[in-house]
A and B are shown apart, each in its own frame.
Chain A
Amino acid sequence: GEDVEQSLFLSVREGDSSVINCTYTDSSSTYLYWYKQEPGAGLQLLTYIFSNMDMKQDQRLTVLLNKKDKHLSLRIADTQTGDSAIYFCAEGSGGFKTIFGAGTRLFVKA
């Protein structure tokens, strides 16, 4: 079945770049998402990329998609302490039945 995998933890220093990686299995997915969840909060859609794109940049965020390897990454430039959160990678064809990874907890050290 569909599956999304991502590493559980990442620790970076403030000001460095963070790269969170994700692999997925469903090649028919239309959208690939990155969500951010802060403690006690719901999921905030950070960015998404259509499956026919290779890259998307949005301010400090860069998403890279390698469809051949089914690999998605999120790069956060100039990481700040406020970026500390859990980042979820997800694949799907829209709102319904979006498949989420387990989440990567990003620690940013001052």
Chain B
Amino acid sequence: KAGVTQTPRYLIKTRGQQVTLSCSPISGHRSVSWYQQTPGQGLQFLFEYFSETQRNKGNFPGRFSGRQFSNSRSEMNVSTLELGDSALYLCASSLASNTEAFFGQGTRLTVV
């Protein structure tokens, strides 16, 4: 079966702009989590959605938001981009919140 699909793979934005990233989970998976990966901070949890509801949130400012649709696809939005938002954004899907997570290839965001 198809894996987790993230689009786009690469993105370049300027400071102050906003960006929307997309994640399509494995078919049948209802939990989608987002992570930010940077060289300095490693992998940090952003938030988790399950059945269209945000269940958990990491320690990120309100500029980072997300949502999940009825087909379990999820989007993540970052507004007023800062240079420090440059990172690899990874999405993980799980059958449920307490099962193993499968990751997508990530979206590499560069803010200039």
Contact = CB atoms under 8 A, between A and B. Distances in A.
B31 interface: yes
A100 B56 contact: no
A101 B42 CA distance: 8
Interface string B83-112: 000000010111011111111111000000
Given A31-B100, A95-B99, A41 B105 contact: yes
B103 A94 contact: no
Given A95-B31, A101-B42, A103-B42, A42 B105 contact: yes
B104 to A, nearest CB: 5
Interface in A73-109: 88, 92-103
Contact of B103 (A42, A48, A102, A103): A42
Interface residues on B, range: 20 to 34
A100 B42 contact: yes
Interface string A14-35: 0000000000000000110101
Contact of A95 (B6, B42, B43, B48): B48
Contacts of B31: 94-96
Interface in B22-41: 31-33, 35
Q: Which of B31, B58, B96, B97 has the most CB of A within 10 A?
A: B97
A22 to B, nearest CB: 13
Given A95-B101, A98-B45, A102-B42, 5 more contacts: A43-B92, A92-B101, A96-B31, A96-B97, A101-B42
